[in-house]
Structure 1
Amino acid sequence: MSILARIRQINRRRALGWAAFSYAVAVLSGAFLGAEITLRSKTRRVKGEFVPVGRRGNSVYLPASSETLSRGVVGIVPLLPNQGHALLGPPRLVGTLVRREILEERGVLPNGALAWVSTFVYNGTPQQVGISYDSTLIRTEVGQMPAWHIPAVSGEKDAIAIVIHGHGGQRPQALRMLPALRRSGVAALFVTFRNAHGAPRVGKGYLSLGDQEAEDVIAALHWARDAGYRRAVLYGFSMGGNIALSALRPRHQPYPIPVAGVALDCPALDWRDTIRSNGQRYGIPGFMARHIGNFVQYLVTRRSGQDFDVVDQLAAASSFNLPIVLWHGTRDATIPIRQSDALAAARPDLVEYHRVEGAKHIRCWNIDPEKYDAQLEAFVRRVLPGLPSPSLNSPLSLQGDSNA
């Protein structure tokens, strides 16, 4: 009997039933996984790869991978032996290897070392950038949140930047921008929030995608006031951007100290859109991604009580009243760039928008560090007039403080 004849003998109703069952299982499995990632995602280590290093003079040769081939600047930390840190320039494929030139080097990156390489550039503390800092704790209603305090170069307690990492992220991811913040004249407070790695667990450990985490940012402003600071800017990455904007809601005002502006790097502005987009990111057909996305939202709400309207920053855009500087990469596969496009279009009176061609999620700095740093410094000095003008090294400098 031919294959066609066998197919004709199959009971169509039974086949459709099995197909529907299989589809439902796939959708539900994807939704349960998506809900778990949405609610609990956190990592112990900064994302990167471990690779062997070949070095000739100022050139470094690495195995080809998605990380080592990434556009723009990457950081590399030798593990065996651990003798320093270096910034590497853009990649060039040489046979089966990736060649990058050393832009800045602190310590020694030896030939033959096993090293961590990452587009997040740093994986340690501000000391890795050569900058002195204090580890501190932010007192909140749910516990003590760990933070790094980096005083201003001038020593004055005038203005401070509250730096907020993202979903599943860690504080080292923003160390790339610390030298620029220092040059702008502000102090910095790198904070974390409830249910993130290293922070207190609250309830079942579920994230609220920016809503309750904003309370921890308000607590950081209280800390800054008690430490003697008089004004602040908020600086959020990915979900940290949503947290920063959630802190602008009327229920959090008046602030402990005035907030003069907000910096956003690839912010998550619409979680419904983000969840749907991440389904399609893994090759799931559009119609299935929509179904999975809808079930993820349902499961998240059922498990945690999440109100997606509360963290919809595009819907809240008309209520914002502070200057915003915004970066987003055109190759961002985590948070669709259309969200930042929409915010910039909705509030051109407030938003200074930098649409970075070729940048992945929170990798805008890597494409052109000097340009990004200049934009950040100019924004900080615009919204916080009267800051001192410290004289530091170049935008890529790893030298930091002379006494570090």
Structure 2
Amino acid sequence: MARSTVRPNSETTRRTPLRTFLHTDDGVTIDSVYDPGAVVYDSSRPTAVDLVFVVAHGFTGDVDRPHVRRVAKAFARHGAVVTFSFRGHGASGGRSTVGDREVLDLVAAVRWARALGHARVATVGFSMGGSVVLRHAALHGELSGERGGEAGDGGARTDAVVSVSAPARWYYRGTPPMRRLHWLVTRPEGRLVGRYGFRTRIHHRDWNPVPMSPVEAVPRIAPTPLLVVHGDRDGYFPLDHPRMLAEAAGDHGELWLEPGMGHAEHAAADDLLGRIADWAVAQGG
């Protein structure tokens, strides 16, 4: 695996983009892209050149989708970026478990980001990816070892968490888009549509056991900085979802309710992505 060292200087920092297949702890290959970005060193924000954004896309997305590449391009103005396709999506192996085993995919991507020399990692997830970054941070956060997590793997730890358009609880079917999604996931004919219509291969087995829900994960994230972002016109998850997450976070978390915003990457304007990036950079001090 290629390695690089991040050293700020007076010029724009540029390195070579990389694309590779990572391997998860359960043996799935994950299609992954590293964009070194272009960050001009600023003595008032030295942490920007040490920071890498690891982007966790939404369900049926993948690393080559235009909306995922747009997010990566926006974040690359503020730091390096790792994007990847969750299992069952795009060129990655395996089958999607719709947010359960996907935590292992994010672990592999975060380890890679740190192996490339970055001192700080910000995980940014959208929709399904938003639930994954919350559960990942609960299992691999600063204090996870004290709470029965997996802090022994320091390379998988995140330093800041941003969850955009995420559900607070599992099995929600209260909106038409979510009822359609449940049909896609639970019905054989729906999984065929997923495979051939959305390039997403979905596992046929139910969760066993049911994973920790996002709202259960949130209290375990502290003291890692947490930002929850949600649109007030989200057609998938209404505002009780981000409010539940914010309530679970208490004083530890920050909530942005975005006027006029819909759901996930497609609805995240460049201005919002820039503000998210600035927030992540600022968490370094």
User: In the aligned structure 1, how far is the partner of 2:23 from the partner of 2:179?
Assistant: 38
Q: Give the 5 Å matches for 1:360-371.
A: 360-362=262-264, 363-366=266-269, 369-370=270-271
Instruction: Give the unaligned 5+ runs of structure 1.
Output: 1-130, 283-291, 386-404
Q: Which amino acid aligns with 1:328?
A: H
Q: Is 1:312 aligned to 2:213, yes or no?
A: yes
* C-alpha deviation, 1:315, in angstroms: 2.5
Q: Is 1:272 aligned to 2:180, yes or no?
A: no
* C-alpha deviation, 1:218, in angstroms: 0.9
* C-alpha deviation, 1:157, in angstroms: 7.0
Q: Give the 5 Å matches for 1:133-282.
A: 133-141=17-25, 142-154=27-39, 158-171=50-63, 172-184=66-78, 186-201=79-94, 205=95, 207-248=96-137, 249=139, 250=144, 251-254=149-152, 255-256=154-155, 258-273=157-172, 275-278=173-176
| CA deviation string 1:274-299 (max 9, x = no partner) | x34347867xxxxxxxxx99xx69xx
| CA deviation string 1:322-345 (max 9, x = no partner) | 212222112212233321121112
Q: TM-score, normalised by structure 2?
A: 0.70
Task: Tell me what 1:377 maps to.
Answer: 277
Task: Tell me what 1:104 maps to.
Answer: none
User: In the aligned structure 2, how far is the partner of 1:360 from the partner of 1:279?
Assistant: 12
Q: Which amino acid aligns with 1:146?
A: D
SS of the residue corresponding to residue 163 of structure 1 reads strand
Q: Which has the larger radius of gyration?
A: 1
SS of the residue corresponding to residue 159 of structure 2 reads strand
Task: Tell me what 1:105 maps to.
Answer: none
* C-alpha deviation, 1:303, in angstroms: 5.0
Q: Give the 5 Å matches for 1:22-41.
A: none
User: In the aligned structure 2, how far is the partner of 1:269 from the partner of 1:132?
Assistant: 38
Change (3 A) 1:276 1:303: farther
User: In the aligned structure 2, how far is the partner of 1:170 from the partner of 1:162?
Assistant: 13
| CA deviation string 1:294-327 (max 9, x = no partner) | xx69xxxx95240474241112322221212222
Q: Give the 5 Å matches for 1:66-145.
A: 133-141=17-25, 142-145=27-30
Change (3 A) 1:213 1:135: same
Task: Tell me what 2:7 maps to.
Answer: none
1:162 and 1:220 in contact (8 A); partners too? yes
Task: Name which structure has the greater RCO, CA cutoff 8 Å, separation 6+.
Answer: 2
Task: Tell me what 2:259 maps to.
Answer: 357
User: In the aligned structure 1, how far is the partner of 2:267 from the partner of 2:253?
Assistant: 17
Q: Which amino acid aligns with 2:228?
A: L
* C-alpha deviation, 1:188, in angstroms: 0.5
| CA deviation string 1:167-207 (max 9, x = no partner) | 111233233333442332x2100012211222102xxx3x3
1:327 and 1:364 in contact (8 A); partners too? no
User: In the aligned structure 1, how far is the partner of 2:71 from the partner of 2:177?
Assistant: 31
Change (3 A) 1:143 1:306: closer
1:211 and 1:246 in contact (8 A); partners too? no
Q: TM-score, normalised by structure 1?
A: 0.51
User: In the aligned structure 1, how far is the partner of 2:125 from the partner of 2:135?
Assistant: 11
* Structure 1 or 2: more strand by fraction: 1
* C-alpha deviation, 1:208, in angstroms: 2.4
Change (3 A) 1:307 1:277: farther
User: In the aligned structure 2, how far is the partner of 1:256 from the partner of 1:357?
Assistant: 37
| CA deviation string 1:228-287 (max 9, x = no partner) | 2222110101100111112122434243154211111101332222x34347867xxxxx
Task: Tell me what 2:43 maps to.
Answer: none
Q: Which amino acid aligns with 2:205?
A: S
2:165 and 2:263 in contact (8 A); partners too? yes
Task: Tell me what 2:8 maps to.
Answer: none
SS of the residue corresponding to residue 360 of structure 1 reads coil
